[in-house]
Amino acid sequence: MKYGKTERISGIVILLALLAIFVPWLMSDPAPREERPQPTFIIEQPIETARRDVAAPQMPATINAQPSTNVASNDELDAPINASPSLPQTNQIDPPSQAATATQEPSPATNTAAQNDPIADLVAANSSSSSSQSSSASASAPASTQQGEWAVQVGSFGDASNAERLGSQLSSEGFSVFQRQRDNNLTTVLVGPYASSEDGESAMALIKQRANVQGLLVRVRD
């Protein structure tokens, strides 16, 4: 025989062990599932309220009233229209009285209120500042001299046409403009020269005020 007695006994023992494990598991009832809580609905009782009778709405009396319409008759419609306008009657206008046209003299209280008015003081200050600015704008530029050591540099341009345009603008404002060529192919536009740095600073302020160009005070002579 292929298998001996020992192997047969081992096979029978394994089968019996498997039967002892699986048969009770197959014959037993499944474990009960956890029941989910069901939602509960609570119906509340209606609230008792006092009832009262409401009067029926009444139609307004203006609805029943017949509208008054002025309809022109046929004779009025057929009448020709006067195309020439009538002149106004000026005799119905009363001439103004002397009391209304007379100028009233200001009272002392009005003068005191005008003196204590901060808005009037602010307007006066603004007018004085504007007048001072206009006077400074009308001031002439400092006189330039060929032997001057100071000048105002207003720009350096790689395109010569831009330098010419700025120079023409400043010349029209009354400034003495000259140009210098640099080694890096730039054209520098300067205003002056001036004998002192004070004249250069005054010219720089006037350039900013008139042409809106910010300059730089530089020394052009050593």
Q: What is the DSSP letter of 92?
A: G
pLDDT at residue 99, as a whole number? 46
The gap from C-alpha 62 to its chain's centroid, in whole angstroms, comes to: 52
CA distances from 70 to 38, 67, 73, 76, 82 (A): 78, 10, 9, 12, 22
Angle (CA) 147 149 154, round 5°: 115
150 strand-pairing partners: 194, 219
Q: What is the DSSP letter of 197?
A: H
Rounded CA-CA distance 179/130 in Å is 34
For 195, list phi and psi in degrees, rounded to 5: -75, -30
Rounded CA-CA distance 182/131 in Å is 42
pLDDT at residue 102, as a whole number? 46
Q: Helix (H, G, I), strand (E, B), or coil: what is residue 65?
A: coil
Mean pLDDT per 10-residue segment, the chain (222 residues): 77 91 81 74 79 83 65 62 59 52 51 61 70 55 85 90 91 89 88 90 90 89 69
Rounded CA-CA distance 125/115 in Å is 14
- pTM higher than the cut 0.75: no
Q: What is the CA radius of gyration of the chain?
A: 55
Q: Helix (H, G, I), strand (E, B), or coil: what is residue 147?
A: coil
pLDDT at residue 191, as a whole number? 92
